[in-house]
Amino acid sequence: MKRLTAVLTAGLVLMLSSGCAVRTGNEKLAQMDKREIEQRIVKGKTTKEEVRRLMGDPDKVDFDQAGHEKWEYINVHRSAKAINYVPVANWFVQGTNDTKKTLIVIFDDNGVVLNHAFSRATGETSGGLFQ
């Protein structure tokens, strides 16, 4: 009986802890802030290969209106709100707290950083009967 209780408790803890937070996208971006990016990606100096070594492959490759290559890196972190774990109350109100980081890097025709932009946005998602 003690063994069964221990197994069930461990399973419950594992289930709850795995449902608390979800992170998707570029893990390297998740660990960086604006200051670090500005120090490591320098306009007119940093090359595509250096950006690739620093950040990995981009999540999206596109071109801006002038025809310059544009790389985009994205990371989203979602953590469950405490109300999600309250029985019955979670039928009516539930959601996540979200943080999204985005890095856009634009290269000139020689493969050198022309410009870059970093943004960090916070928000939430809501669900349930009374969303």
> How far is it, in rounded angstroms, from Cα 47 to Cα 106?
10
Q: What is the pLDDT along the chain (131 residues), one digit of tens a residue?
A: 666 565 445 544 444 444 567 778 889 999 999 999 999 999 999 999 999 999 999 999 999 999 999 999 999 988 776 666 667 655 666 776 788 999 999 999 999 999 999 999 988 777 766 66
Alpha helix segments (H runs only) across 1-131: 2-18, 27-30, 34-40, 48-55, 89-92
> How far is it, in rounded angstroms, from Cα 127 to Cα 115?
39
Taking the model in full, what pTM does it have?
A: 0.72
